[in-house]
A and B are shown apart, each in its own frame.
Chain A
Amino acid sequence: MKISVASGKGGTGKTMVAVGLAVAAESAVLVDCDAEAPNCHIFLRKGDPEVHEVFVPVPQVDASRCSLCGACAQACRFNALAVAGGKVILFDKLCHGCGVCTAVCPSGAVQEVKRKVGVVEVDEDGSLVVVTGRLDVGEATPVPVIKAAKRLAPSAGITIVDCAPGTSCAVVEAVKDSDLCLLVTEPTPFGLHDLRMAADTLAELEIPAAVVVNRSDGEDAGVREFCRTRGLAIAAELPVDRRAAESYAVGKHPSLEHEEWRRAFRRLLCTVTRTASGREC
């Protein structure tokens, strides 16, 4: 069972929910796919992770074979190549590693070499495995790192995927192949606005979704109305609680500190399991 946690708006509590679910499960794999700012590990403070470097293929042109025909530059839909002044110029930050330049070169002058764009850290400690995707600073797209993190995550009964905020490629890649996506929101106009975008994205991807309202005021009128009209289930309404904020402020997960929070996440895990797999827990 694979559960992704996304939101639209940043700061709604995705990481808190993802970590809460992973902790509530007897054993789980938690994949932090917010590769530009991964921080699930802060809550969990594990040991010494195994580090895997992530590479993307980029073209390298053999000048002795290149006829400067420009086929590679013309075929590149990302405009990462140009032919000027008797050579091929590569703008590697624009390259998506699709390999079309290698494929179209009539002289066989283009070969692919590796360029590092980030790392995946696998932290395995007993029943909880934390896999963290970490994009190198200055890189344009986290997608290759997210793919690698998901690939390197060991298979498990429950896999929780923490996503980046927003609705871009990074989120699409992270939620792909989920059995259920939890959309974490907050009862503010900002939370609702971005929840709508996230819900639209998941509908487009045909991924089942449910909503978690964090910092709930107990009424959540706008969110409830939205969920009703869209046929989205509300999986949990987590209350505004000073104790949760205090735990969070010192990097501790409220479910590891307070019994009510532990139970709340246990309940959420059961709801999610039932919704995603039909199994009781």
Chain B
Amino acid sequence: MKVAVASAGNTLDSPVDPRFGRCAWFVIVDTDTMNLEAVPNPAAGAAGGAGIQAAQALLSRGVQAVIAGQVGPNAFQVLSTAGVRVLPFGGGSVKDAVDAFTAGQLTEAAAPTGPAHMGMVPGDSTPGFPSGGMGPGWGMGRGGGRGRGRGRRGW
């Protein structure tokens, strides 16, 4: 079975990304052969509908199960319609996630595990929902210096 793990990096040691739609990589492991393939998430920088695009990309690769910190409602709809199992897993590496999966320790989600747009704002958290994403900042540093030069009389 092909399992895709949302990941911050492209190796087995990379941490599982809490976001599905906007994770950097999907590490896809075939649990029968233990073949491993890392593909960049084509939706990581999408303006909107990232979860949908990411889910579609995984379907085209024949993925049958998805492991991520959280999966939002739109992505969940695409994945569950296609019969793909959604397995939440937080706080570990890709290898930890795959090990837990093969050991049968992961529970399939029956509903979306996070709110829509969760991956869009760093640290956004809605009351009642688990705390959210770790995306790249959107700031545009504009701070100035502190002006500590010393004036000197004359030129």
Contact = CB atoms under 8 A, between A and B. Distances in A.
Same complex for A and B? Answer yes
Interface of A: 70, 73, 78-80, 82-85, 87, 89, 91, 94
Given A89-B77, A89-B78, A82 B83 contact: no
B55 A78 contact: no
B90 to A, nearest CB: 25
Classify the interface of chain B: helix, strand, loop or mixed.
helix
A80 B49 contact: yes
A131 B64 CA distance: 53
B83 A91 contact: no
Contacts of A91: 49, 52, 74
A82 B48 contact: no
Contacts, number: 42
Contacts of B81: 84-85, 87, 89
A79 B53 contact: yes
B24 interface: no
B14 interface: no
Q: Assign chain B's interface to a size class.
A: 10 to 19
Contacts of A87: 81
A89 B55 CA distance: 12
B48 A84 contact: no
Contacts of A70: 56, 60
12 contacts: A79-B43, A79-B52, A79-B53, A80-B52, A82-B56, A84-B55, A84-B82, A85-B83, A87-B81, A91-B52, A91-B74, A94-B48
A128 B79 CA distance: 54
